[in-house]
Structure 1
């Protein structure tokens, strides 16, 4: 666990809770309860839209504390073995150690001739000679040479490879300047020896990592699987095609939530559109086979916001009920009976993105046993107005290294700013001035 999450959790729940990580189905751990601070009335917030209001009377944790709670809420999924062609994006469950020397034998780094000793040399073979993948040739003795291709096994007794452009072969003889011993030979074990650790546990398997695993002799790998996610889109006001009309709006969260979760490391099983049907929501939540459920909308206390009531009916345990962050403060994190975590995203688009990066991102990292991302910072190119008490997440572009330019169209219901952004700047309560150093949240790319 990183210091970032340990410190934040200790601030949120006290020293005892920072050490707790109990077990549940799918690895869910219920944090210990700490004494809650005395609630303070939230001031009027000119930055939040009416739809972004959280239920009244709740005590909302600080943004960093909520992220720590999400990371601590689950244990990694059980490891499984996958063939290399299915392991991309998964996390190594154990260190990757070489099963062989790399290279496994001395190989030629160039096309030319394998030579023994100083020249000139007598050719022991005509034509293409030794090719990559061909069995070993007869040993060479001083004064002998054999044609060799890049990647071919160097015969025993060879002292160097003479490049093709540096030699002249005719009538069974090879002439050229004698190369230094070892020239253009990749010696056995140059990259690693058998048993060397190539990648640590918890490393994400990239295309290059899969190539390394194959070169090191692996057909399968022990991995933490990508968490399976199910997306439930809520709201009768949503249209799924065509132009907005008659008071109804296009669903922006359905098309983007699944891809965001995929980019954050999940395997999205399905996106279901349930409207404002409490019974359909109850059935979906109680029968899901996902490792994490993500809902969009219905996190506040409006007349058609059924999510909290359905969670209560199911006997779910609320781990985070609102967060001191704008936009998105009605977001929630719950543990369903049996241990499945549920992330509730607000219905406003930018507020939903805030919820994804505040709660879903650390939760998915914990399920996949991935460490937290290293923190990155930049200096603001302009002033940013803040909320009096809450953290604010603001879309920014990065016109040059170390500089963050705040973007317009950053309201809770807007996507125009985030669509053009390279990152979100974390603005502390009270705001920040031009030149202030602020933390950046990188936006995932598929």
Structure 2
């Protein structure tokens, strides 16, 4: 299979972008999704007439005899008659017959009596005043933000009908990879596994599972057979070395991309598995994996494809045949290269705001900037 240009590979990945499917998710899993249907109030807010202030619920003109107390979550007790009051907390249900609530700040209370100026209806939040029962508060397509989650809960929802984010399963391979502590000589810490969940979430997906695999075709084949996800990301087995077994276990999969003319990240793979899921193979070097993920994984998940154009405010050498992805930060005179951009190091990417796309043979002029999360 012919190695694709970076532009062609990214366009092909975008053409295969996952289409979010409607799903009923608990509130704890719905953040960042879009509503698949309008959000309606299952209950009125407030659910009953409640006090908007700490003070006294009063009935009739002053003075008022204080007959009891009502706290938030309590019951209002008997209704009030003219000349009666109850001490009341913010959010507590007002007794039947309440004219208004007199705040502590303006109340003159002594010996079981209270007086003051209280306009009728003042400082009472009436049932359904904020949101009537059945009201449509947000339309389909709205993004589920933290405020939306709080609103949905207040309106009586435990679950939301949303367009679920594509599920991504991550398989990290390599006998040399360790996942905690200090690596011994000849070993390396896994840098790709910790990087992917944030990248996936930013691009519009969610990591639904992950596994750590030793080198070997058998372990990888077994893991792929058990994965249930929209997209499978295999880290560290996409090259053609003796420990890279991804191609050997693809079997009936349709290989769509086998290598992209980009540096870093040349040995990347895109395939469609027999069950329909897409597989993205990333190189084992961390910055190369990031470059490959930006090329294939991000567009598949519906993430941003096209960036702004900018001049480069620093020396950058173009590759004669491959696109280069260069970590940069925006400056007054253009994008400033961060350096530290070898395939095995994320230092430059950690300093950067974007990746500058430097075409093959580039001799100056503006380049595209791909935003980094």
> Which TM-score band (shorter chain)?
0.7 to 0.9
Match of 2:152 among 196, 203, 213: 213
Q: What residue number does 2:124 align with?
A: 185
> In the TM superposition, what is the alpha-carbon distance from 1:149 to its structure 2 partner?
0.8
Q: Separation in 2 of the partners of 1:364 and 1:279?
A: 28
State the secondary structure of the residue aligned to 1:145. Answer: strand
Q: What residue number does 1:441 align with?
A: 371
Match of 2:57 among 114, 122, 145: 114
Q: Is the 8 A contact 1:410 1:418 kept in 2?
A: yes
The answer to whether residue 14 in structure 2 is matched with residue 68 in structure 1 is: yes
Change (3 A) 1:200 1:341: farther
Q: Separation in 2 of the partners of 1:207 and 1:64?
A: 32
Q: Is the 8 A contact 1:292 1:341 kept in 2?
A: yes
> In the TM superposition, what is the alpha-carbon distance from 1:271 to its structure 2 partner?
1.9
Residue deviations 1:267-299, cap 9 Å, x none? Answer: 342322232x23433333234334422112333
Q: Is the 8 A contact 2:4 2:257 kept in 1?
A: no
Match of 2:47 among 91, 94, 104: 104
Q: Separation in 2 of the partners of 1:412 and 1:182?
A: 69
The answer to whether residue 214 in structure 2 is matched with residue 282 in structure 1 is: no
Taking structure 2 as the reference length, what is the TM-score of the superposition?
0.78
Residue deviations 1:246-282, cap 9 Å, x none? Answer: xx4514345425544664542342322232x234333
Q: What residue number does 1:333 align with?
A: 270
Q: What residue number does 1:368 align with?
A: none
Q: Separation in 2 of the partners of 1:380 and 1:154?
A: 65
The answer to whether residue 256 in structure 2 is matched with residue 256 in structure 1 is: no
Match of 2:3 among 45, 58, 68: 58
Q: Is the 8 A contact 1:326 1:391 kept in 2?
A: yes
Change (3 A) 1:238 1:107: closer
Q: Separation in 1 of the partners of 2:271 and 2:218?
A: 18
Q: What residue number does 2:294 align with?
A: 357
The answer to whether residue 355 in structure 2 is matched with residue 425 in structure 1 is: yes
Q: What residue number does 1:413 align with?
A: 344
Change (3 A) 1:300 1:130: same
Taking structure 1 as the reference length, what is the TM-score of the superposition?
0.67
Query: Unaligned regions of 5+ residues in structure 2, if any?
Result: none
Q: Separation in 2 of the partners of 1:205 and 1:75?
A: 17
Q: What residue number does 1:95 align with?
A: 38
Q: What residue number does 1:318 align with?
A: 255
Q: Separation in 1 of the partners of 2:245 and 2:25?
A: 40
The aligned length equals: 366
Change (3 A) 1:374 1:96: farther
The answer to whether residue 133 in structure 2 is matched with residue 194 in structure 1 is: yes
Q: Separation in 1 of the partners of 2:12 and 2:142?
A: 25
Q: What residue number does 2:233 align with?
A: 294
Q: What residue number does 2:210 align with?
A: 270
Higher percent of residues as strand = 2
Q: Separation in 1 of the partners of 2:256 and 2:326?
A: 25
Change (3 A) 1:134 1:428: same
Change (3 A) 1:384 1:186: farther
> In the TM superposition, what is the alpha-carbon distance from 1:327 to its structure 2 partner?
2.6
Q: Is the 8 A contact 1:96 1:213 kept in 2?
A: yes
Q: Separation in 2 of the partners of 1:296 and 1:381?
A: 31
Q: Separation in 2 of the partners of 1:158 and 1:294?
A: 63
Residue deviations 1:284-337, cap 9 Å, x none? Answer: 3234334422112333444554323432xx121133444454432432221100
Q: Is the 8 A contact 1:113 1:163 kept in 2?
A: yes
Query: Unaligned regions of 5+ residues in structure 1, if any?
Result: 1-54, 366-371
Match of 1:135 among 72, 75, 92: 75
Change (3 A) 1:425 1:261: closer
State the secondary structure of the residue aligned to 1:125. Answer: strand
Q: Out of 353-362 and 107-116, give the one that drifted further.
A: 353-362
Q: Separation in 2 of the partners of 1:174 and 1:376?
A: 66
> In the TM superposition, what is the alpha-carbon distance from 1:236 to its structure 2 partner?
5.4
Q: Out of 105-114 and 388-397, give the one that drifted further.
A: 388-397
> In the TM superposition, what is the alpha-carbon distance from 1:384 to its structure 2 partner?
6.2
